[in-house]
Amino acid sequence: RVAIEIALHKHRIDAQLRRSEQRFATTLKAIGEAVISTDARGVVDFMNGAAAALAGVAAGEAIGKPVASFLKLVDPASRQPLAVDQAWNGEAVLVDGTGREVPIVGSLANISTDRTEAAGQVMVLRDITEHRRMVELRERQRIEEIIAEVSEAERRRFGQDLHDGLGQMLTGVAFLCKTLEQKLAGKSQQESDEAKTISKLLGEAIETAREIARGLLPVPAQADGLVQALKSLADQITSQFQIECEFLDASSVRISDPGTANHLFRIAQEAVNNAVKHASPQRIDICLQAADATGCLTIKDNGRGISSAASGQGSGLDIMRHRAAAIGGSLRVSADPGGGTVMTCFFPFNHD
């Protein structure tokens, strides 16, 4: 009877062990990390699907072979091979049988038993190509944002210097010229006329300097500065191109952050200019509104429209998308069912 109980107990333990091994093997096959195990001789006895894909070899072909026969690990800095039979942890470059290189992070550990010698090893690897790509993308975006901010700051400084320096100087010269014109009025008709001409030219130069300064500093530094700038943009388009352009401030949106306001204005300016140049519209609407925590800038025209292929192309669109991303927003360009093009920029908005 004792022998029977021992046999039944052993059978139950063996069954539990088999179930545990099955669960463990199923788990290893399902996880995203590449897992390779070897026996005491260094021969592969298990390889999951992620490992086969990473190493570029079928699991059936790798079983029974040394790991070094189908892949090698290289130190990313020294480019020296790493031993695949010694404990290791960190980053490396995996080189498969075809010479393809994949940046990975992983570890290699010994399988310990009650005996002193290792019963095998387990290697766990993870492909960090996408992670590296995202890190590089974020770093590139950060650098681009810094460049854009520095460029915009320099633009503002130059515009302010132009307004306060050259503009004021020209105004002073124009005042002196007006005074001279009045003094010459009763003496010489020819000299008086020449003084009037000089005064007129100075007036035109002052207006040109102001226009340049406004172009460099389009958004006044105040809460409703963006609204004023968009109204001026609409008036300028109407006056310059005889196109009906209207600004619709649907919800009295006020943007207090000057960086956000400037990016939104440049997006609207680029969209309006694109419409004027390429769509031949009769009307352009600029709308700024907000609901909850999302703001929305929309530029809509009734021109010839834009094809679905062209809606994602062009350096102007890339710049607008970059500006939208810089303020945590997104840009969408689509054809209006009624004809024309609709460009919409969604951005985070704080009502405070």
pLDDT, tens only, 39-75: 888 888 888 888 888 888 888 888 999 988 888 889 9
* 3-class DSSP assignment, residue 120: strand
Q: In this structure, what CATH number is given to the domain that contains residue 345?
A: 3.30.565.10
Contact 112, 90 (CB under 8 A): no
Taking all residues of the chain, what is their mean pLDDT, rounded to a whole number? Answer: 80
Mean pLDDT, to the nearest integer, of 252-276?
88
Contact 274, 232 (CB under 8 A): no
240 φ, ψ (degrees, to nearest 5) = -80, -35
Residue 162 CB contacts under 8 Å (≥ 6 apart), including other chains: 209, 212, 213, 216
**pLDDT for 28 beyond 70:** no
204, 236: one domain: no
Which pLDDT does position 7 carry in this prediction?
66
64, 187: one domain: no
50, 114: one domain: yes
Q: How confident is the model at residue 308 (pLDDT cuts 50, 70, 90)?
A: very low
122, 146: one domain: no
* 3-class DSSP assignment, residue 192: helix
Domain carrying residue 122 = 31-127
Which pLDDT does position 341 carry in this prediction?
93
Give the count of alpha carbons within 13 A of 99, CB side only. 0
Q: In this structure, what CATH number is given to the domain that contains residue 71?
A: 3.30.450.20
250, 350: one domain: yes
48, 163: one domain: no
Mean pLDDT, to the nearest integer, of 2-29?
63
Q: Inter-axis angle of helices 189-216 and 168-184, to 10 degrees? A: 170
The answer to whether residue 21 is domain-embedded is no
236, 313: one domain: yes
Which among 11, 16, 94 has a CA at the least distance from the CA of 55? 94
Q: Report which of residues 83 and 189 the model is more confident about.
A: 83
Domain end position, chosen among 165, 182, 217: 217
The answer to whether residue 165 is domain-embedded is yes
Which pLDDT does position 210 carry in this prediction?
67
Which among 40, 43, 62 has a CA at the least distance from the CA of 51? 62
Q: Report which of residues 128 and 6 the model is more confident about.
A: 128
154: tokens are: 């320099």
**pLDDT for 24 beyond 60:** no
Q: Report which of residues 213 and 268 the model is more confident about.
A: 268
288, 351: one domain: yes
The single-letter DSSP state of residue 282 is S
Which pLDDT does position 300 carry in this prediction?
95
Domain end position, chosen among 111, 127, 143: 127
Q: How many domains does the chain have?
A: 3
210, 230: one domain: no
Q: How confident is the model at residue 14 (pLDDT cuts 50, 70, 90)?
A: low
Which pLDDT does position 309 carry in this prediction?
42
Domain end position, chosen among 196, 217, 238: 217
